Amino acid sequence: MLSSLLGAFEGPGAGFMYALTAVMAFGIAVLLERGFLLLWGWRVSEDELLRALGTDPAAALSRLGTHPSARVVRAGLEAPQAAVWDAMGAAAARVEVRISQRVPYLATVGNIATMLGLLGTVFGLIVAFQGLGDASTVERAARLSQGIATAMATTAYGLLVGIPALGAHAFLDARVRRLLAFTEAAAAAVAVHRAQPDRSA
């Protein structure tokens, strides 16, 4: 199968193969960048930090470092008591954009790759049927074989690019939802802490 895919880069469907390769490269770049941040760069001990936010939010904030939820916590600590939820809500909107940015591109990569593969299939079938016209028996067989090979190779390559991209999107999207849930829990912990009369600023 690998040799068939490599051979398709030199046949009539080469344009589709190179386009799919470009789409795959973009998807890999997004996966590496977002995957690093979502899985390693923003990793914290969530349960421990939530407990710390309920007792000493200022100390917990320093431990959050560059984690996106730090922006929400900071907004809740710096806002006046009456505007705590409003300040954290405004910060949370920005944080949600930061956490989820570029992740939907992976779903787009999966869809585009699949569609390009199908378009290559149609193109390959057109090539195959054109070979059934005015040509010798040998030429007909060659064109038919070439067209079908192009159709199958572009379809297979499109699926090989699209399926992992959709899987990666589902995986990272679940991580995004978990980070957003932690951010909401952190905001609630700060709000409860600020609402206590003996600890209000």
Q: How confident is the model at residue 11 (pLDDT cuts 50, 70, 90)?
A: confident
Domain count for the chain, please give it: 1
CA-CA distance, 102 to 100, in Å (whole number)?
6
Would you tell me how many other CB atoms lie within 10 Å of the CB of residue 134?
6
Is 201 a domain residue?
Answer: no
- Amino acid, single-letter form, for residue 200: S
In a domain, 144, yes or no: yes
Flag whether 95 is in a domain.
yes
- Structural domain boundaries, residue 119: 2-195
Average pLDDT rounded to a whole number, residues 163-192? 95
What pLDDT does 12 receive?
Answer: 84
What per-residue confidence (pLDDT) applies to 201?
Answer: 42
pTM of the model: 0.85
Q: In this structure, is the dihedral angle defined by the CA atoms of residues 127, 133, 138 and 139, taken in order, positive or negative?
A: negative
Could you tell me if residue 115 is inside a domain?
A: yes
**Cα gap 160→40, rounded to integer Å:** 27
The pLDDT value given to residue 200: 43
The whole-number average pLDDT for the span 35-60 is 91
pLDDT tens sequence across 93-142:
999 999 999 999 999 999 999 999 999 999 988 888 876 766 677 777 88
Does 21 fall in a domain?
A: yes
Determine phi and psi for 122, rounding to 5 degrees.
-60, -45
pLDDT at 198: 56
Report yes or no: 91 and 66 within 8 Å, Cβ to Cβ.
no
Q: What are phi and psi of 174, to 5 degrees?
A: -65, -40
